[in-house]
């Protein structure tokens, strides 16, 4: 997060925007192939999904749309140095630990 902010300041004068995403629990092939059975993976994602305020895991498509938005000159030409959390609000859970199940 801090790295992208610093880089965005260094290259902004050249018309380059630097933004990052911070994905939450997203079921990807990489994650699914990292070990364990399909059943174990399903159970883990079900549990982790429940730990987000939106009560579900995110999708690859949702993450891709966030990336496309940040990369778009049409929609995000005045956005730089941003780390967008695509995590169903999971990052905000640490603000209120009593809300954890």
Domain count, the chain: 1
Secondary structure class of 1 (helix, strand, coil): coil
Maximal CA-CA distance, the chain: 50
| Phi, psi of 23, rounded to the nearest 5 degrees | -75, 150
Q: 17-31 b/e with 16+ CB inside 10 Å = b?
A: bbbbbebbbbbeeee
For residue 96, what pLDDT is reported?
62
Domain CATH for 71: 3.40.50.720
For residue 92, what pLDDT is reported?
79
Q: Which domain holds residue 51?
A: 2-99
Determine how β-strand 83-86 pairs with β-strand 20-23. parallel
Q: What is the mean pLDDT of each run of 10 residues along the chain (101 residues)?
A: 94 98 87 79 84 90 98 98 93 66 57
For residue 45, what pLDDT is reported?
83
- What is the chain's length? 101
How far apart are the C-alpha atoms of 51 and 101, rounded to whole Å? 7
């Amino acid at each position: 997060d801090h790295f992208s902010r610093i880089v965005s300041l260094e290259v902004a004068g050249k018309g380059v925007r630097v933004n990052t995403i911070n994905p939450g629990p997203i079921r990807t092939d990489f994650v699914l192939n990292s070990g364990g059975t399909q059943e174990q993976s399903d159970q883990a994602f079900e549990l982790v999904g429940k730990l987000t305020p939106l009560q579900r895991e995110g999708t690859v498509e949702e993450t891709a749309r966030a990336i496309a938005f940040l990369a778009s000159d049409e929609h995000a030409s005045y956005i730089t140095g941003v780390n967008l959390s695509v995590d169903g609000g999971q990052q905000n859970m640490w603000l209120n630990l009593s809300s954890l199940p």
